Amino acid sequence: MKPFITHTGLVLPFDRVNVDTDQMVPKQFLKALTREGFGRILFYDWRYLAGEKPNPEFILNFPEYKGASILLTRANFGCGSSREHAPWALQQYGFKAIIAPSFADIFFNNCFKNGLLPIVLTELEVDHLFNEATAHAPMKLTVDLPAQSVTAGSRSFHFDIDATRKTNLVNGWDEIGLTLRHADEIKAYQEERKKTEPWIFQ
């Protein structure tokens, strides 16, 4: 996984609550066998009209947001299906961080596995950023993971993040590799468990 340390980029203010992962990657793209090629189809049904003509009314197609790398959005982003194709698509489109008042649990986890940083700010802070990003489009933001801050102009917001997730992301560590360091503990656990609940392992 690529490390995430700091990033400065253009903000795309996507003013919608409860955006589900079916919208990010519709079902017809779930038959892929690789993790590649999802950037083009991100938000497919909203982004394209018939014949893959870009829908001029959809914000991703607005010229002022071309090259956006920070997605600003509303509560419960990423609800619904567990498809990791959704964070793959967001990342391959060019997003490095997503800011929202809340995220759905599975989506939130999936982002971290791919070096895409989901940032939770309060409703008020998100409102403020929406106002700024709409009034002064295109607006740039700086996300500093080690400092746990989001900075827009003269204002800076602090965000919380689980310390382990932060360390893994800053270092770009492979979580499977980290877990395999505990191979002895896993083995010992299995042996113990076999004594009390042998049927689990039959």
Partner 1 sequence: MTAKTLYEKIWDNHVVYEQPGKPSLLYIDRHLIHEGTSPQAFSGLRAEGRKVRRPDLTFAVMDHSVPTKDRTLPIIDQDAKAQFDALEKNCKESGVRLFDMNSKNQGIVHIIGPELGITQPGQTIVCGDSHTSTHGAFGTLAFGIGTSEVEHVLATQCLVQGESKTLRILVHGKRPRGVTAKDIILAIIGKIGIGGGTGHVAEYGGQAIRELSMDGRMTVCNMTIEGGARAGMVAPDETTFAYLEGRPFVPRGKEFQEAVERWELLTTDDGAKFDMTVELQAENIAPQVTWGTNPGMVTGVTDRVPDPGSFQNPDDQKATERALHYMGLKAGTPIVDIPVDRVFIGSCTNSRLDDLRAAAHLVAGKHVAKNIKQALIVPGSRGIKAAAEKEGLDKIFSEAGFEWRDAGCSMCIGMNADVLPPHERSASTSNRNFEGRQGRDSRTHLVSPVMAAAAAIAGHFVDVREFDVTHVE
- Residues at the site binding partner 1, with contacts judged by CB under 8 A: 16-18, 20, 22-23, 26-28, 30-35, 45, 74-76, 79-84, 87, 102-106, 109-110, 113-114, 162-164, 174-176, 178-180, 182, 185-186, 189-190, 193, 196-202
If the CB atoms of residues 140 and 173 are measured against partner 1, the closer one turns out to be 173
User: Position 111: which residue type?
Assistant: C
Q: How far is the CB of 146 from partner 1 (least distance, A)?
A: 18
Compute the least distance from the CB of residue 153 to partner 1, in Å: 26
Helices (H), 17-113: 21-24, 44-47, 85-93, 105-112
The position carrying tokens 């204002």 is 155
**Residue 49 or 155 with smaller CB distance to partner 1:** 49
Measured from the CB atom, is 154 or 184 closer to partner 1?
184
Q: Which is nearer to partner 1, 80 or 138 (CB)?
A: 80
11 is written with which tokens?
Answer: 């903000």
Q: From CA 80, how far away is CA 83, in angstroms rounded?
A: 9
Q: Report the distance separating Cα 100 and Cα 181, nearest Å.
A: 34
Q: Alpha-carbon Rg of the chain, whole angstroms?
A: 19
In angstroms, give the least distance from the CB of 185 to partner 1.
5
Nearest to 42 by CA among 17, 19, 75: 19
Closest separation in Å from C-beta 21 to partner 1 = 9
